[in-house]
Each structure stands twice: as structure tokens, then as C-alpha cells.
Structure 1
Amino acid sequence: MRYLLASAILSLTFSTCAIAQSGPIAEATASASSENQFQPATLASLVDEVDIPYETFTLENGLTTIVHTDRKTPVVGVTVYYRVGSKSEPRGKTGFAHLFEHLMFGGSANVPNFDIPLEAAGSTSTNGSTWYDRTNYVETVPTGALDLALFMESDRMGHLLPAVTQDKLDKQRGVVQNEKRQGDNQPYGLADYAIGEGLLPVGHPYRHSTIGSMADLDAASLADVRKWFIDNYGPNNVVIALAGDIDAATAKKKIEHWFGDIPRGPDIAKVSAEPVTLAAPVSREMTDQVPVTRIYRAWSGPALTSPDSVPLAIGMHVLGGLASSRLDNVLVRDEQLAVSVAAYAQQHEQLSFLEIQMDVKPGIDRAVAEKRLDEVVRQFVKQGPTQDELNRAATEMVSQQIGALEVVGGFSGKGATLAEGLLYADNPALYKDQLDQMASLTPAQVTAVMQRWLSRPVYRLAVIPGERSESGAAMGGWGDEDTAQQISPQTRGADSDTTGPEAAKLAAETEAQAAEPRTAPELSQTRDLTFPDIQHATLSNGMAISLAHRDAIPKVLIAMEFDAGYAADGSAGAGKQSLMMDMLEEGTTHRDAIAIAEEQERLGATISTGTSLDTSSVMLSALTANLAPSLDLMADVIRNPAFTQEDVARVKGQRLADIAQAEASPFGIARRAIEPILYGPQHPYGSVGALGTTAVVEPLTPADLRSEHSRWLRPDLARITVVGDITMEQLIPQLERVFGDWQAPAAPAPGKDLTTPTPKGSARIVVIDRPNSPQSALMFGKVLPLTGQDAGQEPLDLANEVIGNGFLSRLNTDLREDKGWTYGIRTSLSDVKGPRSFEVMTPVQADRTADSIKLILADMKAFPTARPVDDVELQRVTQGNIRGLPNRFQTNAQVLSGIIANQHLGRPDDYYADLADIYRAIDGKDIDEAAASYLQPDNMVIVVVGDRKVVEPQLADIGLPVEYIDSAGE
């Protein structure tokens, strides 16, 4: 994939949240259940809500297009699936499909750069991904940019070869190898390799990883790349989905115009890739730099289109996917042998991976925990689920699918759903058949399927704490590398066939693709963003209500936010607020944790709690038909938490394990170190993050958490924001019923002093040793003389996009695309009420740590003195953002986030409606002045988490003081 940074390293500050009760009156009111008044919608009626109408057509060259019309937003999701993935790779070519995906963004005969024109036209970032069965490319564009997107997709489909060069191959090889290092460098990062090796024999198409082995990536040649394109990227191997502001008649004209002249290619032969039954159970143990022991159980399973696929997915969800799953209830809640569990079916076109995992609770004998895990699984396989469990699992999945109807493009939008159905089952409506089957399942059907697949010999894997015993560089390949010829750095990527018939064929094809120059189309007019009107009201207790009515899907999102957050802890109490929030769903005075989880599942609702720096929040996602009972549950969770001794002890154990996990992750370590350095221990923002520290969390008692709840979660510190399928006339009575009588306590509301001085910044490097790390995690940071509520910061936001916030930013172009030292780099400006921080984060290959630091500092310093913003960058960040505004608000969640941001930062309701005019008024001088004032590298602290013996010798000539610390926050 082309993601800038893996989600695991983007943020480690998420936790949970809670709310305060005001005494017996509030409790009595909130406990009045409405279950007898409001009956949840039936599963069958919910399935009927999920519908994606479509039309299809196929060109003479074999290219098939699916069209779905959705006019709610003036955007079109363009989703292109090629019927080739890593399972098509022969021996010695592992990782090749994914490497080629990267090369597809390097330009074609008539398109020097795919990203710049599209993002300037308002597209989402163009992206792609590779998996066992397919490679896909996605962008969501304003309607007026659709022809531009189709021109570009057709140019690389039919005119790529003239632009493929050895230099591009070498650079993208470096990027992909750093992507592999990034994944390998995570705790448990080698487990997937081991599972593939353990379940499937050498040569099985699903055995090797999609990322491949370092040796095979080294061996990829230019001739290999060109041949891969000719053999696999013909239009007859393609499905295009267009979803959004488009109709079939218009789409057919455009597809024929742009793709009709591309000749057919060879048909991709289907490989043999059946599930494999092990002859006997297999066990493997690996040591790794992990905080807790993780146990895996794995089997290969049936194809996505097998009749067993849906019952098996539901069965695994009941076993270890639901919040009230069998494994959770027994191993985490009841017997407390584990801190987390999971079970799932990862389903592919020709087989699936059935996996169960358990993180053993520290202090628990591993053998005891493993034995009990196997007993619970064995009992479930023997007895099967109840009908209630099946209904809850199915309702949860259908509710999620209804939510997915909001998105037209991207990797999981409606276009992808239709395309994958056609690709894997010759049926775009496969999702509908699966939901219908899901809704009618019986316990006997699921039990029979679970017995058929999970009674076979199992693959057991244990990853235990210690020094890493395996090398990720040597894993992920075909499986017979011990006997394969080794590739030296001097001969890597050398063309294996530069003369002869095959080379002549490639040369002729390349010449043909370059013969007829093509011109990009002009952009046509696109409607501006129409941000929904915001209505306001007040409950009888004074609580403020804001509503944006949107009826595209039958769901409602409700957020209750409190002016608290983990800034309420300060460094001395780090972790208290978020642990209190974690406890909200662990039991009320009327329901225990299992009852809370089961009720959400029956309703198709999701209640989540969160603690950001400035706010603590409770979020409800509910089906409109089930809103009343869902609100009853939300109110009980908020107002009446129980904080029992047993529940607090259990959740504290899980929190301590979460802290240990963060302290094992490269960016977890860096994140926990940098905020205390930047803000200092006296400032509310100067803590290690929401998770807190062991020293604070371990001694917390139920009484401490009750006090925290009463102090901060109170109606006079709260406001409610709602987006979705409901009117204010319908909403207010519902909220009055569950929150209207909730009164603030007599004690004055607490506050946070965000004006506390922060330390004077001083440029230096802080190194935290993490041995055996193939990459170094870099985090740069400084506090700005600005608060999030200061007006007029849009030029600074755009300057941040120029330097580092986006795929086309200067830092990403330099460090990733040109040098190939990282998989991605990103800069960010914190959106907080108090002092903002500016941060840079990137994982870089360990031997380029100092070179990367120097390059980042030089690029930042050059902006704008030596290199002011240029016309292309200005067009991209101003006009591109203007045209892209409708893309930013497709979903209820995006609209809710926008409204809350306005409230949080003191902006007017019509801020996003006016944002286009604000951007139009910004020129290059404004952006340069913002960069000069705020984005210079002066006084930046640089935290390096990596292998000290590799990193230390590189730092001597950077010219900054270097200090070494063991860890942060303890």
C-alpha cells in the first residue's frame, strides 16, 4: 500500500471516557428502561436497508465497469481492480505484485505525475493496495475531475512502459523495503510470516507474504517489471467501479472514450490454491521484543465463495469478535487469564486464514492460559452458538454495513464492495447474498461448519518476550531460500534478459505505447461544498444541543463531550481520566459488562468512550429505528457506572498491559517521551499520554475513579452534538427523557490552566535505545506561540501541507520518493485549545538515521528562504483543497467531527461553508510568512528510538547536543 504511515504509529493517545452521576434521582430516572416501549428493528428489516443498485457493461477489449449512482455529494469514487495479486507470483518473485503497485504511481507516457494533477483537482490522495488476490487503485474525485482521473487511469493501463526506468524501480524498491522493515519492527511483527509458513507448504500461492522477502525484492529487474505489466495489466483483467455522482449512460461514454482503444492482454490463469489440512498439530515458539506472551491458533479455511464462508465468519465472530464473545467472557472477564483475545476468519478468493489469538495476562502461567484457551475453543466447537449470539453477531455486522453505505469510494466504499463481488464471485451483489444468508443462520448450521474446519489439526504459535530470535529480512519469501542463489548488492535488480525475442517483444510494446501522445482533459465545474445547517437547542438542565440533519442512511451519531480530557490529569495523574472512561462500559448499577455488550449487539448500536487531550467523550452510533433503547443504554453508561472492585482490578490489569505494549512499540516510546519534554511536567499537556504510567495507574482504587467521575463528568461541563437521520423535534424529547433531569453538583466546576508556561525550547537529540531495530523512529517537536483558538491560522495549515502533511509534501517527496529511506513521513499541527505543537514523525532505515535528520532539518530551513512556495504547490493546497471540500464531508462521522472541531476551536457554524473563500484569499506570500514564523527547525527536540550501537556513531557531525535516556514517564 501507499499509506504514508501505518496506523499503528500515527497515534497512541486514544483511550476511553466516562460521565458523572448526580445522585439517586438521576440514577432512578436513567434506570427506567424503555425496552417494553421500544422494540428493536428485526434483523430482516435491517438487511433490507442495505442496497447498492448498480449497472454493468463490458467493452470489446474485456474491461468491465460497474456503475452505482449516489447524488448526495458531488464526488465520484473511482476504484480499479486488477485481477492479480501476490498469489500469482512465481518462485523468486515474492513481493513483486506489491512492488509493481508502487511503480504504477511513477508516471506513464503522458502523465509525468499521477498525484499532483489529481490532488490539485480536489481528489483524495490517490492510493493503491495489494493483497493475495488483487491489486487495486483508488481515488475519489469531484465530479468535474472525473475525466481527468479516467484519463490518468487509462494512461497507466495502456501507456505505462515508456515511463518505467531503472531509477524509478530502484527508488520504489527502497520504499517497499522500508515498508517491510516498518512492519517487521513492530511488536509481533513477524507472526504473520510464521503462520503462513506453518499452515501451507512451500510453493502454495498463499504461503508467502504479500510484502515478500528482501532477497526477492533485491532481485527484481527492469525486464521483470515490464513483463509483469504486459502479462497481467490488460483491460480484460480489470474491473472498474464508478460510484457517486454519475449514471451508467454517462459512464459508458467516458469509459469507451478513455479505455476503448487499449488492446486485450493475456488472460490471467487461475492458480491452484486449496485449503490445506495439516497431517498433525504443529507448534512453533518465537522470542521477540514484546511485553506479553501472545498465543496463536490457526487453520487454513474455505474460499470466500464457499457455502461455509458466512457461517464460519459468524461463528468466529461469536467466539472472539463480539465484545461479549465466548473468549472475552471466560478468559478476560471471568477467569482473567488474558488481557485481550480475538478470533476471526480472514477470507480470500480461494482460501481463508482462521485465527485465534490471546495475550496472556502478566503473572499468569502460560501453560494454564493455553490449556484454558483450548478448552473454551473445543467446547464452543462442540456445542456451537446460541440463536441469540447469532442474532447479535449478525445485527452488529449489518449495522456496520449500513454505515458503510455512506462512502462511495476508497478501499471499503460501495465501489469496492461491488467490484470485489464481481471479481471473486462474478456477482456484484455478493454482499447482499451474504447478508441474507447471515440473517437466516441457525445454531446447527454454524456448529456443523465450525466442527468441519476447527476440528482439524491446528497450528500453534507462541511469541514470548525476549531477544528477537528471527530475522524479518529472511522471512516472507517462497520458502526454499536456503537453496536459492543469493543476490549480491552489486548485481541486484540486473536485467535477466536484455537481448533475444522476449526483449524485442518488450521493446516493441514500449514503442507502441509511446507512439500516440495523449492530452489530459480540462477540469469542468464542480458544485461547492454544501455543509449542513446546524440547529441549536438547550435541554431543561441547560445542556447545549447541536444537530445536523442528514438522512442518507438510517443511522444517528451522538457525541457527548466533556471539558476534561487527559489534560485534566497533568503529569502527576497521568492515566486516571482515561482509566475512569474505560470503566464506563464495564458495568453500571443496572447492567454488568456482558449485559452492556450484549444489548449493544442486539440493537446494532455502538457506544464508545474516548479521551483526547482536551475532552473526554462518549459516542453513540445507533440505528434510527433503535435510537430510543440505544439512548437508554448510553445514559445508563454515562450516569451510573458501578466501579466495582473486581472490574477495576481487571481493567487496571489490561491498562498496565496496554502501557507495556506502548513501551514496546517504537513510536509508542517516542510519543510518550516527547510531550513531557516539549510542555514540561507542570503544564496540563506535559504528560505521557492518555494511557498514563504504571506508577499512577497501579494504585488507583474504585473510590479514586468515582471521585474522578463526579468531579469531571457533569452536565455543566458537557454538550451534545448529533448528526443523522432525526429532526430536532424528534431528538429533544428523547434527550430530555434520559438527560433532562441530570443536575450539576453544588461544587464548582474544575478547570485546567492552559496558560501555564512551557519550557524554553532548545534544539537537541534525545536517543532511546531499542536494540535490534531495523529502523529508527524519529519524532521532531516544538511548542508554537499560538493556541488552537487563535484566528487566522489557515495559511499555517497550508504551509504545513507544503512541507510535510501529505503524500506530495516536500519531506515525503524527498525522503521517500527520491531517497527511499522511509515508507512515509508526516508533519502535524496539534488541534488543541491551548498551545499548539508542531511535530514531524517518520520511521527510517537504521543506517540512514543521521542522513534523514540532516535532510529533514535542511528542507525545513529552506522553506521559505531558499525555496518559497511555488505555483504548483500553491495551486495544490488552495484550489485543491477548495475542490476537495465535498470529499471531506461524505459521512455522518466526518460532519460530526467538523462540527465538534468548530465548537472546540471557537469557530462559527458556517466556517466550512466559508472556507473556500478563505483559501481563495491566501497567496504564496501568506504561506511563506507562516512557514518562516512557525515551521523553522530552530529549537526542535528530536527523539530517536532505535538501536544505539547503530545510531550513535552517525550523530557526531549533526552539530546538536545528544543525550541518552532509558524511557519516558516512569
Structure 2
Amino acid sequence: MRRSFLVLLPFFASAVSISAIAAAPPSFAATQAVPTADLVAHVDIPYRQFMLKNGLRVVVHTDRKAPIVAVSVWYHVGSKDEPKGKTGFAHLFEHLMFNGSENAPGDFFEPLKRIGATNLNGTTSFDRTNYFETVPTPALETALFLESDRMGHLLGAVTQQTLDNQRGVVQNEKRQGDNQPYGLVRYALFEGLFPEDHPYRHATIGSMADLDAASLDDVKNWFRAKYGPNNAVLVLAGDIDVETAKPLVEKYFGDIASGPTVPRIPAPVPTLAAPKSETLHDRVATTRIYRAWTVPGLADPDRVPLSVGAAVLGGLSSSRLDNILVRQEKIAVAVSAGTSPFESVGLFQISADVKPGVDPAFVSRRLDEIVAQYLKEGPTADEVQRVVTSQVAGEIAGLEAIGGFGGKAVALAQGALYFDDPGRYKKDLAAYAAVTPAAARAALAKWIGRPAYQLTVAPGERGAYEEAKKADEAKPAAPPVPDQPQAKPAPRKVTMPEVGKIPDFDFPDVERTKLSNGIGIIYARRAAVPMTRVQLSFDAGNAADPKDRLGTQSLMLALLDEGTKGRSSVEIAEAQERLGASIGASASMDRTSIGLSALTPNLAPSLDLLADIARNPAFAPAEVERLRGQQLARIAQEMAQPQGLALRALPPLLYGEAHPYGAPFTGTGDPAVVAKLTRDELIAFHRRWLRPDNLTILVVSDAPLADLVPLLERNFGDWAASGPRGTKDFAVATPAVTPRILLIDRPGSPQSLILGGALLPVKGRDELLPLLAANEVLGGDFLSRLNMDLRESKGWAYGASSSVSRVAETVPFIVSAPVQADRTGASIAAMVADIGEFVTSKGVTQAERDRTITGNVRELPGGFETASAVLSGMQNNMLYDRPDDYYDGLADRYRALGAADLDRAARAAFDPGRLIWVVVGDAKTVRPQLDALKLPVETVAAAKQGKE
């Protein structure tokens, strides 16, 4: 289950026609934002729909911008439909439905990979289960065959072995979530808010005991009762029309019989009789305080004003809680507030991370005082408008996507499933545009004035963890009731179709120019939506962080939008919200970027703001101290997370502490250094690295380059460098390879995180296509050797992978697997064996080569569907010294690769005997397993990993 604390426009997640805005070129002379009502009024996702005789509703949206179609199937069944004792069934079945059907045996990712599917996945929530993929248009029939086969022809392929394997995978997914700091909060919240037997009381992931007890008969009967076509919606969005879609859908889905009518489970909104307060102890670095209430679900008219009111309180960058608790009083390092609307009920949640050294009880009282005052006053008109503008702009930014987790297909499917109205998103948009301060205040008073569930998560030892039974103990004591006798599944009248010819991908034309001071501009046009994305890309990155002052860059970047010479941090946040712009700074190992996503009609003032943030940071002493505290808290949180601990520990082991890449991959640095960094050091780093002679500006926009250059010239053309430019020394020698294991002791962990690394004899600027393709076979794809072994065969992990982590200079090879604690040593041994066989006796097969190469070629149109993906491709071409048309010839370069080419690349690079391992887990459980591997093992406490 994916949960969001700020869900403002749950149905408006995708593409549109914005005719009145996009019909004419934008006027860049404007300095004020376009009114939100004007944006909302022209949002439209045209669709047509029809229904098959078996009850399957089909919604079709035509968007010809690319030769791809999003296929999205939504079943109206989720965890709230599970009876007592069978929690986790909906999610378990989501997994089972990926493991082959009667006429498409084997893992569904195999044919989907082969046809070039992108944005493919499945998810389960309280209310629904969905499956989605975006495919090249000539592969649409194959996707429809696969979706129809698992809808109507699944059970003959569900075996006890499949059930046992996916049960183990799901239990490892549960361990992975539970193993995180605050990972048990989800259970406490719902159990604290909902009474016994309420459909929303239990988490979607389910309990270990119920998953252990699931029999083959149980899960088959669950499918028979819930997954009929009359309980589903199919959405097709993209290069398709209803005249084409109708005969295809009838051909593949028409023979599926209707299922039983699925009753809707009553789920009233409960109210606590009195405030309820609980405290959990967990391996966390910062005390977190929660307040939570149940609120109405999706259809209730109070949902929209409640979500707006929550955003004003703690969802905006300039929210009430941010301004008071974080900026002014400095007693919290992070705050949030938002709503999570479900079908029948919703959740209103507030959280505050207490600043270390501050009394949590005091913060708790202040939080309650602020909320009480807010309920009395309500939001202002300006606050409401900033929320709506920010959310609408964020949604428009995603309008290019036709499918995936968001996109047009999601908007249409949700409306159809929950409201019998695919166009429901329009009503929601109109409701947001119409929200008034009085309406938000009334909704808040009605629902948040009720007793709250109060939860405090404090540092300490966790209680006992609910573990799964061992495999031999998990079998039911008595044999399950056998299935009703059934004949061998009859073959379908249709077979899996062949994929038609797919044209090669055409990357957008790239143009280059320069500003008067020499700053390079790299530009591509994408006109699907009225959005402009700008990236200020500096040659810096984590590699530029001073080796004796690690954390300097991270603190400097965090301060950029916290005040300039002419604007305060609050004024910067409010300006972005009024414009619907989003500005953020980030760093990779090689580049430091400041990105802007803006509505093109609001581009002129948005660029003014971007330039002010990049060029004129104030580094005000008070802000330096506040952000220093936040960064120290962030480092402490990393040191409480398995992944954070591993990513901090591995790079110095591989590269050595003196190498530019020897810094923690997290980039946050050494807490001892961060605690003492001076304002002058931050100013000096900014002057050395974030400067015009170190900058390239990348732009993807619906506006032509000729219209953009004057704006960029006005904001950046007079920027002059001052003082010496920063340099990076990659001549520093890396340490001799000494294979060993660093065990970071994290007591009580139900899972171990394994990270293995080795430096490769290649650089990022080399042509790595054969090596990258070989790694996909080994560990870079769901169907890879490592994942299929540890997840699909052994069931020891939710996932296992390897990556050729491309940086500009010496490239690392990294293997990763979070595994159940009792299989830690065996998992390392299995990965070593898998890699060893891959580079010796069991190289790339022809089938693996064909699947990888054919899939990658066919994935290109879907992979570059959005402007942000195009921008990323342009950045990669620049970083790796590739021509601007690199992607245009990529399909032919892929096709030229044979299995032998992939083998040669892998055998020249991968050597399991050179891997250095970092394991984060419970030493008392894990250490004996690691000792058996006959490698040197060093055990350190997690608390000692702060200093790099």
C-alpha cells in the first residue's frame, strides 16, 4: 500500500486538453501568475466508454502524441474486503496474478518485457487492486491477451508451489517495511483509530499469521468471488480510439464469464469517545509526534475542504506548522499535515519531528495549541489560493503521462470504479477551485474538533516482533478442503498474438545556444502540456564536497531557498506557491542541479525566482543554524535506517576516503563537520562551484527556444564568476582490493540489508552499452538471475538486484538484497555463486539476449514519454560526452549486440571474488552465518557509523 499524507486531487492525475492556454504563445511579459480558475476551466480528458455483456466497463482516451498505449485494469477489491483471519489476501493475490496464467505460463514480466512495456506494476490498497503497463501500439493486443488471461484463465496456473513462494515474497516485503524506522506506525494508527472488525482496521500487507495460514483453497475461492469482469474497469489511453479498441476488447475479454456480485462492505466513519494517547519505542533518531483523526471518504463534500485545510496547516512549504514550529520557534525539524482519502473513510494526519534536545512534551503542547488556534481562525484566502494553485500546477506537470502510477488512465479509472463516472476528476477540480476559507474552516471544525488519536514514537527498543512461521510449521494442521473437481482448462479460442512492427524511437531534436556570458543552453521542445522544465546543471556534485569538510555542499544546497538578499524563506515559499512553480536543489556524484518546473504562462516570474535563489543566497546566520540542526537530524535518521547505514559505509571502503567518490552516497556528510561548518565556508563553496563558468542550462518546454533565450539572458546573462573555480582530483589512488564483510549491528532487525560493491575497470564516459545490457540479465531487471533466484525461486527476499552505477569516472558495481535475517549468509553465498556462474559456465543465453535487447528497443518510446525523461536524457548525454542524437541511434546499437558481446563485457568487468560486503542486521543472528563464508568479518555498532 502506498500512502500519501497530502492527496489533493486524487482523480486529476493526468493528461488533458488545455486548449485556451496552449492555443497561443505565452506572454512572457507578465509578472503575475495566471489565475488558477483559468487553468482548471480548460482541463479536459476526452473519453468514450462501452460495456461488454459480462459487465466489464471499458474507458478509452485518445492521445496521439506517441505510439504507445496505457493499459490499466482496476478490480474493485482491496484489503477492506478481507474477512477476519484472512488479512493480506488481496495483496497476496496481486502477487499471484503476476506469476502466470493458464495460457501464459511463467512470470508475466517476461512477455511484458519482451513487448517493450514500461510503467508496469500492480498495487493493492484498502479499496482496489490494479495492474498497469504502457506498451508500444503494435503490442497492444499482446497486453490485452495477457490481462484477459489472468482475469479469466488464472486458477489452473496457481499451484501450491506458487502460493508458497509468493507468500514468502510478501512476508519479506512486510519485513522490509517493518524494518524501517517508524515502520510499525501504520499498524498503530489504524488499530488506534478503528474499532475491532472495522474493514479499515488492518493494514493491507496483512499479518504474518494470516499469511502463514492461507491455503490454496482459500486463495482460489477468494479469486472466484472477487475478480470477475463485472467487478473491474479497463482503461486504454494513448494511441488508440474506441473504434479500434472495441473489437479488440471483445475478442480478448468477451468470453470471460461474469463473476458473483461483490457486495460493498459497510465502513462508517468512527469517532473516538475520548482522546487516546499511546507511545511506541523504536530504533529512531528523532521523536515523532502524531495526531490523527478519521474523516469522510472520497464521495463526501467535506473531503476537498479538509484536504485544503490540511495543506495550509502542514502541506505547504510555508504552512502554519512549518512557519511556527520549524522556522520561528525552531523546536521541530520537520512537520507535515495532510489527508489520505479512501473510498469509504479517510485519514487526517499531522506529524512533527522534535528537534533533538527539545522536550517532546513541550512540542506536543505547542502542536495542540497551534491546531486549536487554527481551528478557531481557519485559513486565509491567500493560503487557500496557494494550496490550490500549487496542486493544480503539480498535476498539470504530470499531464503528459498516459499511465503508470498516475497519468490519464488513473484519473479515468478511479472515477469509473468509485463513482461510475470516468469524468469525476472535473467535479473534483471544480470543488478545489471553489473552496473558500469559510468552507475549509467549517470542515476542519466539524471533523478535527473531535477527539484525536495521539501517538508518540520515541527512541528505544522495539517490542517483540511478529515473525512468520518456518516453512514446515506454516502448513495447516489439517489438509485443506480440496477444490471442486474441474476439468483441465480448455484452450482459449485466441492465442497470444505476435507483436507488429514497432518504428524506431525518434528523440526530440536538440538545439544549443549560448548566453552573452558564455553559459551554454541545451534545449528540446515538448508541447503536450504548457509546462517548462529548467535545470541549472553545475559541474560539482558530491565529488566536490571537501574531503575534510563532508556535508558542506548539502548544507549549502539546503539553504539556497531559505532566503536571498531580497527575499526571506517564507517569501520564497509563498512566491513558488502563488506561481505554481517548484524549485529544488539536488546533487548526484558528479553534478549539482537547481531545477525549476513551471507553468509556461508563469515562466517569467518563475525564472526571476530561480535566478534569485541560485545567484543571491543570503546564508543568514539564523537560517544556517536552523538548517544545520535539520541536516544533523537527517544524518541521525540515516544512521537509523538500514539503507542509510549501508550507503554511508560502502563508498569509503571502495574508493578510499581521499577519493572524490569516497564520500557517503547520501551526500549528507559527517555530523561532526556539519556541527561546526561556518557561514563563510558555505559562501566559499557556493562561489567556487555554483558559478556561470561551471554551468550548463538544460530546458524542455512547449515554448520555442527563441522565446526563452531573452528570459534566460535577462536572468543569467550578466552573471560573472568571482575567484578561483573548484576542481576535483580523480588521480587519487583507490585502495587495494581486500574482499571482506563489514557487519553493522542493528539489534532486533527482522531482515538484513546486504550491499556488495567492487570498482570496475571502466569509466562512465566509456561506451557501456554491452555491460549495461549484460547487467540487466544478471541483476538489473525483475527477470534477472539474482532476483529470480533470491525472490522467485528461494523466496528469501522481496527483491535482489545489481547495478552498474554510472558515474563520470571509475564506475562501481553494486549488488543489493534485503533478505530475511535467517538467510543472510546463504543469500550472499547464492549471489556469489550466481555471479560466478554468469561470468564462467552459464553466460547469457540467446533467450536472455533477445528478451533484453528486444525489450529495450521497444521500451524507448515509453521511456521518453515525459519532458522530465527527455531532460534526464539530455543531462546524461552531456555528462557522458555523447552526441545530442545519441538516443536516435540507440536501437541499432542494441540490435548489433549478440550474446557473446554481453558475455565478453561481463567477464571483463564482474568478479565476485573482488566484492566487499556491507551487511546491516542483527549481529547475534547474522554473525555465525557470515563466519561460515570464510571471509574476514568486522562487526561494528550502528551508532558508530556517523563519522566517515
Shorter chain as denominator, the TM-score bin is over 0.9
Of 698, 708, 712, the match for 1:731: 708
Structure 1 residue identity aligned to 2:874: I
Check if 1:806 corresponds to 2:781.
yes
Higher relative contact order (CA 8 A, sep 6+): 1
From 517, 529, 545, the counterpart of 1:553: 529
Give runs of aligned pairs for residues 456-855 of structure 1, distance below 5 A: 456-471=450-465, 473=467, 489-490=472-473, 492-493=475-476, 497-499=480-482, 503-504=483-484, 507-508=485-486, 511=487, 513-516=489-492, 518-689=494-665, 690-745=667-722, 747-790=723-766, 792-855=767-830
**Alignment partner of 1:41 out of 16, 28, 34:** 34
Q: What letter corresponds to residue 642 of structure 2 in structure 1?
A: P
2:412 corresponds to 1:409: no
**Which residue of structure 2 lines up, in the alignment, with residue 924 of structure 1?**
899
CA contact 1:129–1:136 (8 Å) conserved in 2: yes
Measure the CA separation in 2 of the matches of 1:236 and 1:149: 20
Q: Which residue number corresponds to residue 69 of structure 2?
A: 76
Q: Does residue 148 of structure 2 align to residue 154 of structure 1?
A: yes
Cα distance between partner residues in 1 of 2:327 and 2:533? 29
Report Cα offsets for 1:610-661 as digits up to 9, x if no partner. Answer: 1111111100000000000000000110111111110000000000000000
Tell me, in whole angstroms, the C-alpha distance in 2 between the residues paired with 1:876 and 1:49.
43
Q: What is the rounded CA distance, in whole Å, between the counterparts of 1:231 and 1:719 in structure 2? A: 58
Which residue of 1 is the match for residue 840 of structure 2? 865
User: C-alpha separation between the residues in 2 aligned to 1:579 and 1:119?
Assistant: 41
Matched positions, count: 921
Deviations along 1:278-331, one digit per CA (max 9) or x if unpaired, are 000001101111001000000111011110111111111111100001110000
> What is the Cα deviation at residue 580 of structure 1?
0.4
Contact persistence 2:28–2:601 (CA under 8 A): no
Distance, in Å, in 2 between the alignment partners of 1:957 and 1:70 is: 58
Give the 5 Å matches for 1:288-437. Answer: 288-437=282-431
2:17 alignment partner in structure 1: none
Query: 1:350: Cα distance to partner?
Result: 0.3
Q: How far 1:493 sits from its partner (Å)? A: 4.8
Greater CA deviation, 109-118 or 918-927?
A: 109-118
CA distance in 1, matches of 2:115, 2:793: 24
* Alignment pair present for 1:942 and 2:917: yes
With 461-470 and 190-199 compared, the bigger mean Cα shift is at: 461-470
Provide the residue aligned with 1:952 in structure 2.
927
What's the TM-score, normalizing by structure 1?
0.93
8 A Cα contact 2:165 2:792, kept in partner: yes
Q: Which amino acid aligns with 2:892?
A: D
Tell me the distance in 2 between the aligned counterparts of 1:472 and 1:585: 44
DSSP 3-state at the match of 2:163: helix
CA–CA distance in structure 2, aligned partners of residues 725 and 739 of structure 1: 21
Shift of 1:129: 0.7
Q: How much has 1:864 moved relative to structure 2? A: 3.2
Residue equivalent to 1:914: 889
- Answer with 685-694 or 565-574: which moved more: 565-574
The separation in 2 between residues aligned to 1:518 and 1:959, in whole angstroms, is: 55
Q: For residue 914 of structure 1, give the secondary structure of its aligned residue in structure 2.
A: helix
Deviation track 1:352-377 (CA, whole Å, cap 9, x = no partner) reads: 01110010000001111111111111
Q: Does 1:50 align with 2:25?
A: no
Amino acid at match of 2:537: E
1:528 is displaced (CA, Å) by: 1.9
Residues in 1 aligned to 2:176 and 2:476: alpha-carbon distance in whole angstroms:
22
User: 1:865–1:281: structure 2 CA closer, same or farther, 3 Å change rule?
Assistant: same
Whether the 8 Å CA contact 1:103–1:172 is kept in 2: the answer is yes
Q: Does the Cα contact within 8 Å between 1:570 and 1:686 map onto a contact in 2? A: no
Partner of 1:253: 247
The aligned runs of 1:173-192 (5 Å cut-off) are 173-192=167-186
For the 8 Å contact 2:397–2:597, the answer to whether it is kept is no
SS in 1 for 2:499: coil
- What secondary structure, in the 3-state scheme, does the structure 2 residue paired with 1:633 have? helix
* Distance of 1:36 and 1:252 partners within structure 2: 47
Instruction: Tell me by how many angstroms 1:820 deviates.
Output: 0.5
CA contact (8 A) 2:29 2:604 kept: no
Q: Deviations over 1:671-715 (max 9, x none)?
A: 100001000011011012310111110001212111111111110
Task: State the SS of the aligned residue for 1:831.
Answer: coil
Cα distance in structure 1, aligned partners of 2:157 and 2:494: 14
DSSP-derived class of the 1:847 partner: helix
2:692 maps to amino acid: P
Query: Are the equivalent residues in 1 in contact too, given 2:639–2:946 (CA < 8 A)?
Result: no
**How far, CA to CA, are the matches of 1:315 and 1:35 in structure 2?**
32
Is this contact kept in 2: 1:571–1:688, CA < 8 A? no
Deviation at 1:48, TM superposition (A): 2.8
How far 1:834 moved relative to its partner?
1.1
| Structure 1, gaps ≥5 residues long | 8-33, 475-485
CA-CA distance at 1:135 after TM superposition: 0.5
User: Partners in 1 of 2:489 and 2:477 — Cα distance?
Assistant: 24
- C-alpha separation in 2, matches of 1:896 and 1:36: 26
Deviation of the 1:496 alpha carbon = 6.1
* Structure 2 residue 284 is matched with structure 1 residue 285: no
Q: CA deviation at 1:277?
A: 0.5
Give the letter for the 1:72 counterpart.
Answer: K
Give the SS at the match of 1:193. Answer: helix
Closer, same or farther: CA 755–308 of 1 in aligned 2, 3 Å: same
Q: Does the residue aligned with 1:65 lie in a helix, a strand or coil?
A: strand
Q: Which amino acid aligns with 2:604?
A: A
Query: Given the superposition, is the C-alpha separation of residues 901 and 808 from structure 1 closer, same or farther in structure 2, using an over 3 Å criterion?
Result: same
CA contact (8 A) 1:223 1:495 kept: no
Classify the secondary structure of the residue corresponding to 2:101: coil
Contact 1:570–1:683 (8 Å) recurs in 2: no
Are 2:118 and 1:141 equivalent residues in the alignment?
no
Aligned to 1:62: 55
Deviations 1:533-582 (A, max 9, x none): 00010000000001101110000000001111121114322110121011
Shift in alpha-carbon separation, 1:125–1:595, aligned structure 2, 3 A: closer
Match of 2:118? 124
| Aligned 8 A contact 2:120 2:133 in 1 | yes
Residue of structure 2 equivalent to 1:198: 192
Q: Give the stretch that moved more between structures: 563-572 or 544-553.
A: 563-572
- 1:82: Cα distance to partner? 0.5
Deviations 1:362-406 (A, max 9, x none): 000111111111111111111110010011000011011111211
TM-score by length of 2: 0.95
Cα distance change on mapping 1:254 and 1:518 into 2, 3 Å: closer
The aligned residue for residue 945 of structure 2 is 968
Deviation at 1:39, TM superposition (A): 2.4
> SS in structure 2 opposite 1:661?
helix
Q: 1:36 to 1:137 in 2, by over 3 A?
A: closer
Q: Secondary structure at the match of 1:317?
A: helix
Backbone CA RMSD of aligned residues: 1.7
- Check conservation: 1:331, 1:337, Cα contact below 8 A: yes
State the Cα deviation string for residues 768-823 of structure 1 (Å, max 9, x = none): 10000000010000111211112x21000001100001110110000000100000
User: How far apart, CA to CA, are the structure 2 residues paired with 1:537 and 1:296?
Assistant: 51
The answer as to whether partners of 2:136 and 2:862 remain within 8 angstroms in 1 is: yes
Distance 1:125 1:313, change over 3 A: closer
Q: Tell me how far 1:447 sits from its aligned partner.
A: 0.3
| Deviation larger for 320-329 or 403-412 | 403-412
